[in-house]
Amino acid sequence: MTGPTLCRPAVHVPEYVITLEETLNLARSMHADHPQLPLALRLINNTRVERRHLVQPIESTLRHPGLEERNLTYVREAKARIPAVVEEALANADLRADQVNAIVFVSCTGFTMPSPTAWMINQLGFDTSTCQIPIAQLGCAAGGAAISRAYDFCRAHPGANVLIVACEFCSLCYQPDDLEVGNLLSNGLFGDAVAAAVVRAGGGAGMRLEATASHLVPGTEDWISYAVKETGFHFQLDRRVPKTMEMLAPVLKETAGAHGWDATSLDFYLIHAGGPRILDDLSMFLGVEPEMFAHSRATLTDHGNIASAVVLDALRRQFDAGTTPEGSRGMIAGFGPGITAEVVLGSWVVHPAAPGFVPVAAPVELEHA
């Protein structure tokens, strides 16, 4: 019995763009008297994020109207942007909505109850028996976790298909009065995106999932966190975070080794690009050439850190490259609060396009709805 296949993702980025130079100029003008402005500017410049996409114009993004209005914006933008991404992901997997048995929805930048999965089932043609699996508190690790939970569902329910949706509007967490250096850095690092992909029980092209693993680094739960205040989510990042790659590289090696693979010599790596330092350190401690993380670096450059959507965008780039032979072995790894690592192993599957298959190229920049 073969494992389920993670099909080509759909990745949509919003239409409003802010460049690195614009970000630096804003920081200079808004925080001219900040005693650590030179440090903040250097850190932002070192992210190598050339551009980021926002769900609102920068003038609206910089205005904080209160938590309630921010969350209403999250809901409105999610409902406006999710349908097209879901439609594209289903087409990439050559499936209809009523052939999906579960939806894994991940997001850490807004909150609704019930989950947006309920709205999706009501509005987008999914059967009312579709299982809902919302994940809200794994942050950037949730992309890897979503793939793992989809894999678990497919194994527990043979023949099942699972849709993954990642909806991250990081710009809605901007806090103008939070002047900690870590927060100033995050203002120049995070971007917005919506992504979706199908884990299909049988058939389809992509990454055939073979093994997963989760790992928590003890004693680090306050290294990446949200302080929840009257003004909403305040992102907190400890300076020790980059050092976690030294702790997590052995976990990736052990995960691959338990599957009979060598983590240092796989054919492709799709790593959460929290920042260039993360990728540089993981390359060193894992013993992998830096260019093996090229897709993750490209996501960071083009979109910034788009949280749980990073690994799906990196996977999309793997498809776009069109150079992955049948049977190539690869790894997906997401890192986030906890400090948590979510690891997925799989082999590349190449199939001719099935009837009705609709190939889609670059991420779509949406017209403002």
Q: How confident is the model at residue 351 (pLDDT cuts 50, 70, 90)?
A: low
Residues 125 and 167 in one domain: yes
Residue 368 lies in a domain: no
Residues 132 and 118 in one domain: yes
Residues 145 and 66 in one domain: yes
- Kindly report, residue by residue over 336-348, the tens digit of the pLDDT: 888 899 999 999 9
Q: How confident is the model at residue 360 (pLDDT cuts 50, 70, 90)?
A: very low
Residues 48 and 195 in one domain: yes
Question: Catalytic pick from 7, 108, 131, 140?
Answer: 140
Q: Is the pLDDT of residue 363 over 90?
A: no
**pLDDT value at position 358?**
38
Q: Is the pLDDT of residue 307 over 60?
A: yes
Give the total number of structural domains in the chain: 2
Q: If you average pLDDT over residues 282-300, what whole number do you get?
A: 95
Burial label for 294, CB within 10 Å (0-12, 13-18, 19+), is middle
Of residues 80 and 29, more confidence is placed in 80
Residue 65 lies in a domain: yes
Residues 63 and 83 in one domain: yes
Report the DSSP beta bridge partners of residue 168: 193
Looking up tokens 């409105």 gives 76
User: DSSP labels for 123-191?
Assistant: HS---TT-EEEEE-S-GGGHHHHHHHHHHHHHHHSTT--EEEEEEEEGGGG--TT---HHHHHHHTTB-
Residue 269 lies in a domain: yes
Q: If you average pLDDT over residues 12-41, what whole number do you get?
A: 92
Residues 153 and 24 in one domain: yes
Report the DSSP beta bridge partners of residue 330: 268, 346
Task: Report the C-alpha gap between 141 and 171 in whole angstroms.
Answer: 18
- Kindly report, residue by residue over 63-77, the tens digit of the pLDDT: 999 999 999 999 999
Q: Which of 183, 200, 217 is the last residue of a domain?
A: 200
**Which residues, other chains included, contact 334 with Cβ-Cβ below 8 Å and sequence gap of 6+?**
140, 141, 142, 143, 144, 145, 272, 308, 310, 311, 341, 342
Is residue 140 flagged as an active site residue? yes
Residue 74's CATH number: 3.40.47.10
Residue 189 lies in a domain: yes
Report the DSSP beta bridge partners of residue 132: 103
Task: Report the C-alpha gap between 167 and 332 in whole angstroms.
Answer: 19
Least confident of 81-90, 240-249, 358-367: 358-367
Residues 212 and 72 in one domain: no
Residue 345 lies in a domain: yes
Residues 211 and 181 in one domain: no
Residues 82 and 68 in one domain: yes
pTM metric for this prediction: 0.91
Residue 32 lies in a domain: yes
Residue 362 lies in a domain: no
Residue 57 lies in a domain: yes
* Residue 339: domain span: 206-349
Residues 45 and 102 in one domain: yes
- Give me the percent of the chain exceeding a pLDDT of 70: 95
Report the DSSP beta bridge partners of residue 51: 19
Burial label for 23, CB within 10 Å (0-12, 13-18, 19+), is buried
Residues 97 and 184 in one domain: yes
Name the token pair of 19: 């460049």
Q: Is the pLDDT of residue 356 over 70?
A: no
Q: Which of 174, 200, 226 is the last residue of a domain?
A: 200
Task: Report the C-alpha gap between 222 and 238 in whole angstroms.
Answer: 8
